[in-house]
Amino acid sequence: MTDSPLATTTKDLTSSTDGRQTGVSPWLKKIIYPLGQYLVLPNYFREIEIIGQENIPQTGAAILAPTHRTRWDAMLIPYACGPYVTGRDLRFMVSIDEMKGIQGWFASRLGGFAIDTNKPGIASIRNSVDLLHNGEMLTIFPEGNIFRDGTLHPLKKGLSRIAMQAEALKPGLDLKIIPINLNYEHPIVKFRDRVSIQIGTPIDVQNYQQFSTKTGAEKIHQDLTQALAHLMQQPQANSV
C-alpha cells in the first residue's frame, strides 16, 4: 500500500482544523494528564466507577467508541483508558466546533483533529486510517455529538467504514473496536456527581473481512449499536 500523502509521523504536531493528524505535545501532557488524573477528576466527582477496564488493549490498533454526554467525556476517556492505564497516548476525532477557541488549542496539542460530522472530509478519514496503521488508539464518538437525554442516538457510519478500510488495507492489523458507555448522575453534570464508565467486549474487525466493505461496515455498525445499547442497560450511576 502506498502511504497517504497526508500521512505524518504520530509525533508531529500539526494544525488540526483541517483534519490533519496531530501528535501529543510532550510538555503539555506532562502538565494536563497528572492534573486531570490526580487533581481535577478525583476532586470534582464523588465517585468514578470503571467497569470492564480489562477490555482495553495494551497494544495494537484500537478504536474507542464511547457514548457522548458532556464535554467531561474528553477527560474521562483518558482517565479510564489512557496513559496511566495502558501507557498509551490517545488520539481524538472531534467535531469542528470542539476545535475552536481555548478548547481547540488544547485539543490540537493533545491528539485531537477535527471532522465535519455532517460532511466528513477525506483528509480526516485518511488520517484516521493512517493512525490505526501506526498501531494507535483512536477515540471516535460514534453518535457524532453530545446528547444529554440518556438515550442512544443513531450512530454515524463513518466509524465502521474507517474500521473496515483500515483492516482491508493492512491485512493482519487485528483492529479492535471498544464500545464504551459513560453515564452521569445528572444530565447537566454537577459538582460531586457520580459517573459510571462501562467498557464492553472488543469487536474484532478482522471477523468482518469475509464480507464486502459495504456489508462489513453495515454489520459492524449494527453490532456496535447493539453493544452500546447493552452497556446502557446495565446498572448505572443515576440508578444508585
**Among 175, 157, 167, 166, which Cα is nearest to 224's?**
157
* Tens digits of pLDDT across the chain (240 residues): 333 323 333 333 333 444 444 578 999 999 999 999 999 999 999 999 999 999 999 999 999 999 999 999 999 999 999 999 999 999 999 888 878 888 888 888 999 988 877 777 788 889 999 999 999 999 999 999 999 999 999 999 999 999 999 999 999 999 999 999 999 999 999 999 999 999 999 999 999 999 999 999 999 999 999 999 999 998 765 554
* Residues present in the chain in total: 240
CA 13, 126, 84: angle at the middle one, nearest 5? Answer: 50
Whole-structure pTM over 0.85, yes or no? yes
Q: Give rounded-to-5 percent helix, strand, coil for the chain.
A: 40, 20, 40
Interhelix angle 158-169/213-232, nearest 10 degrees: 130
Whole-number Å distance between alpha carbons of 137 and 148: 26
CB 195 within 8 A of CB 45: yes
> What's the distance, CA 89 to chain centroid?
12
How far is residue 19's CA from residue 128's CA, in Å, rounded to a whole number?
9
Pairing type for strands 203-204 and 62-66 reads unpaired
Rounded distance between C-alpha atoms, residue 92 and residue 29, angstroms: 14
Stretch (H or E) spanning 159: helix 158-169
Domains along the chain? Answer: 26-235 (3.40.1130.10)
